Amino acid sequence: MKPYQKIPIEECGEPLVPIPQEHFVVELPHPYEKLGATYGKRSPYYLRQGVIDALFRAQFFLNKRNPGWRLKIFDAYRPVGVQQFMVDYTFNSIVKQKGLQAQKILPQQKQDIWEEVYQFWAAPSLDPKMPPPHSTGSAVDLTLVNEKGETLDMGGEIDELSPRSIPNYYAASPILQEQQLHRRRELLNQVMSHGGFHRHPGEWWHFSLGDQMWAWLNQQNNLDNQVIARYGRV
């Protein structure tokens, strides 16, 4: 169990609705669908209505600071089945990267790989008290696109299993190019914070609003503020 999963949930019943894709940049077909993940009746580009409203606030703030810039949404709603698919896909990818054969992996090797997987991926739990963040419709993975329509280099790929995924990885770098990467990450964080989101402490691209992680991060900033989550698994 991760610390944020201890936060209680009082589901508000807000609907899960399509993201108006004409106002943001999206990738079609969706990256996980390209890998073979199936979403059923809902698209990956769904979120709770209140989260979409917050995205519009963040987009407006970004465009005010940097005219023509837009948010590029990589991933949003993720059913538990897709969460399971991506966890398994990541495990198998690590096995291949290490040059291992699935049938010959030692128990300790398997445990080490699973620990690596779950460092970045939430467990695909069906327990209503511990939903994966994306399965609540209140978490979004995204990046920045400039006025030329170019996706900016943020110093690491989304979903990258690497220390570079830590938001402040480049914060103390003396290299000018890496300082720019940090400034871009901070701009994304400032823009999303303006909308009411909180950033995942280990992933520069992951932001949430209203789920357990968001409530837990609120409490870390103010220990006297007992916040509960308002979005559970959809």
DSSP 30: -
Query: Which parts of 76-115 are beta strand (E)?
Result: none
Q: How many helices (H) and strands (E) does the chain have?
A: 6, 7
The helix (H) or strand (E) run that includes residue 47 is strand 46-48
Which of 116, 178, 186, 203 does the annotation list as catalytic?
Answer: 203
Check if 203 is active-site.
yes
> 89 by DSSP, 3-state: which?
helix
Q: Is 97 helix (H, G, I), strand (E, B) or coil?
A: helix
Inter-CA distances, 57 with 7, 18, 43, 123, 221, Å? 26, 17, 22, 30, 22
Helix (H, G, I), strand (E, B) or coil at 151: strand
Catalytic residue ranges: 203
